[in-house]
Structure 1
Amino acid sequence: MNDRVREDTARRLEKAMGALGTAAMARMEERLPWFRALSAEDRSWIGLVAQAGIAGFVEWFSHAADERPAPSIEFFGTAPRELKRSVSLQQTVDIVRVIVEVVEAQVEDLAAPGGLEELEKAILRYTRDVAFAAAQLYAREAEVRGSWDARLEALIVDALVRGEVDDGLHSWAAALGWTSSPVVVLAGFAPDDDPRAVIDSLRDRGRRIGLDLLAGVQGDRLIVIVGGATSIKDAARGVVSKFGPGPIVIGPEVPDLHAAAKSARAAVAGLRAAPAWPDAPRPVLAEELLAERALDGDEDARAQLIDTVYRPLAGTPLLDTLATYLEQGTSLEATARLLFVHPNTVRYRLRKITELTGYQPTEGRSAFTLQVGLILGRLSGIQPG
C-alpha cells in the first residue's frame, strides 16, 4: 500500500470511529450476556475502552507498515481499577473480538481504493498483537495480585497465632474472599520444599476439595487455617499430606475467623508439647494433649483441666476416691480398703467421675490427664469443700 492510499484509508477510519464505537457497543449488548448484566456505568466505561481501542488502531495504522510500533494496550487504562478487576481476560478477549467483527464487517467501505487487502492484514496483525499484550498484562497483574494475596495471607496467619484479632484482620480476610465457617487451625512442621510452593500447593488442594484455606510457613512450622469443613476429620483429611514429618495438631473447631485465634493458640501449644507423647496419633487433637500442654506451661490448658476435672469433683467424695484410686496404682481393692467402702461403691464413683469429667480413670491416658488436673486444682488454691 502506497502512502497516499494508506493516508486515505486512515482518514476514512478516523471519520468512522464514532460509528464503529456505537456499532461495537450494540454488538456487545446483543452477543455478550455478561455485558448486559453490568451496570449502566460499567457499560459506559467499556464503551470508552472500545472507542479508545479503535482510536489506537487508527493511530497505529497511520504509520507506514515497516514503521508501525508494537500495538499499545494503554487504552485499557481508560477504565477505573475496580472495573479492570471485575472483567476477566476471557471477557477482554470477547471485547476485542466484537470490535474486530464490527470493523471487518465494514472493511470494504473503510478501505480506500486499492487498500482493502492491506487493511485486512493490518486488522489481523493488530488484534493478534493486542490479544497477546492483554494476556501478558493479565499475567503480570495476576503475579502482583498473587504476591499481595500471599502477604495478606501471611499477615492473617501471623495475627491469629499472636492472638491479635481486630478489624484489620477481617478486612484482610474479606480482601481474600474469606467467608467460610466453621474454622479449624492445624499446626505441624513444614516440608523441605520452598515455602511459596508449599502455600501454592495448599491453595490448589483447597480449591479441589472445596474448602477455604489460609496457610503460613513460620520458620520450620506450618500453620493451616481451614474453613467450611463439615467436620474436624474432613478438615484434617484434606491437608495432612501437605505437612512435613512430625506431629500435626488440630485446634478446636470455632464458629468463625474472629474466634480462630483460640484454635490457633491451642494447635501451636499442642505442637510444642507433642514430643511428650511420642505415640500420639497423627494428626492429634489439641484437646488430647491437655495434660502435656499444661505441663509445658499452657495457661489455657491448665484452666481447662481445672474446670473439667477438679471443679466438678471438688467438695464431693468423688475427689477423694479419684485421688486414692490414682495413688494406689488404679487398684480397685486397695482403694476400697483405704476408703472403708465396698469395691462396688468405688466402681460406681469411678463411673460418675467419667460422666462428670469425660475422662475414664481406668484408662491409661485418661488417668494421666485426671492426675494432672487433680494436681493443678490443688495448686490453684480452690477449696475442695
Structure 2
Amino acid sequence: METLLWEKTIISSEDVGDDWDSIFSNDTDDLGEDVCDQDERMRFKATFIPLLYSLVFVVGILGNGALLGVLFRSRRGWSVTDIFILHLCVADVLLLFTLPLWASEAVSGWTFGTPLCKLTEAVFTINFYCGIFLLACISLDRYLSIVHATQMYSRRKPSVIQGSCLVVWAASLLLSTPDWMFSKAQWDDRRNITLCVHNYLMFGPLASRVGPLVINLIYHVVGFLLPSAVLIFCYSCILHRLRCGSNGLQKQRASRVIVVVVAAFFLCWTPYNITLMVDTLTSDSNHTCDGRSRMERALIITSSLGYFHCSLNPILYAFVGVKFRRQLLDILRTMGINVKTRGRFPSTTSSRKSSMWSESRDTSNSIAV
C-alpha cells in the first residue's frame, strides 16, 4: 500500500543466510546501535490509518452509491462521458472495499492470508491506472469534440466505447502483475507482526534490487507522467478554445466539470507520486532511523490522500454539476426525502438545446454536468 522500497521488501534470515547483518546494516547508525525502534511508527499507523480510512470508506460508499443510482436512473440517455464515469466509479468502489482490510492491518497486522493480500494490493494499482487512463480517454474525446469538432466516440457505436474501457481495464490489470507476483502475507521479525508486503527475494537477490526500481519507474512514467502530459495538453487547448471562441453554455459547463475532476486527481495523486519518486531515487542511500521514519509517514499520508480521491468525485459532481444535483434530488424525492433548494434547475430538454455543435452532444450531455 504505502510502497516503501526498504519496508515492502521484507527479508527473512532463511532467504539470505549469513548476509542478514549486511542487508540490515542500514537499520543501524555509524555507532552500531540496535535496529531502529518500530513502536512509534506502528502507533502512528494504528491511530492515523483507521480514523482516516473509516471516514473515506463511509463518505465514498455513500457518494459513489448516489452516483451509481443517478447513472442507472438515466441509463437510457447515457453520454460517452457517463460511460467512462461509470467505469471510474466502479474502480473507486472496488478500492473502497479494501480500506477496512488496510485499517485492520494497521491495528493488528494482516490476518487475511496471501491471496487476499495479492488482491488488495492489485486493486490499489488497478484503481490508480484506471483512474488516470479513463480521464485521458475523456480528455481526448473532449479535445476532438471542442477543438476540432469531430468525435472519437459516439453513442451510435457503443462497442467502440466499451472496447476502450475494456482496454483500460486490461492494461491496468496487466500493470498490476507485480502485485500478483510479489505480494505476500509474511511475518516480520522486527515488528513481531504479520504484514501484507512485497517480497522480491522470492525471485532471487537481483530481483530484490532491480524489481522495486523498475516497477516504480513504470508506475511514474506509464501511470503518471505520460497520461498527465495528455491531460495537460488536451485541456490547455480546450480552455484556449473556450476562451477565444463562442461556445454553448452546456459545452462550457461540461468542460468545467471534467477540468475540476482532473484537477482533483492531480491534487490527490501528485504528492504521493512525488514522495514515491524521492523514495525511489534515495533508496540506495544510507538513511538514518529518523529519515526513514519521516519518509514512511510521508508515504502513508500521501497514499491516504490518493485513497481520499475515490470518495471525492461524487462530491465534486454535487457541487459543480447541475444535472447531477437535479437527478439526485429527484431520487431523494422518490424516496420521500424533500430537500429545499435555491433557485430552479434547468430542464434536461433546455440543456440539450443549448449545445451548439451536434457533434458535441454525446460529450456535453453528461449527468455530471
Whether these two folds match at TM > 0.5 is no
**Higher relative contact order at CA 8 Å, sep ≥6: structure 1 or structure 2?**
2
Larger Rg: 1
More helix by share: 2
Q: Structure 1-normalised TM-score? A: 0.22
Q: Structure 2-normalised TM-score? A: 0.23
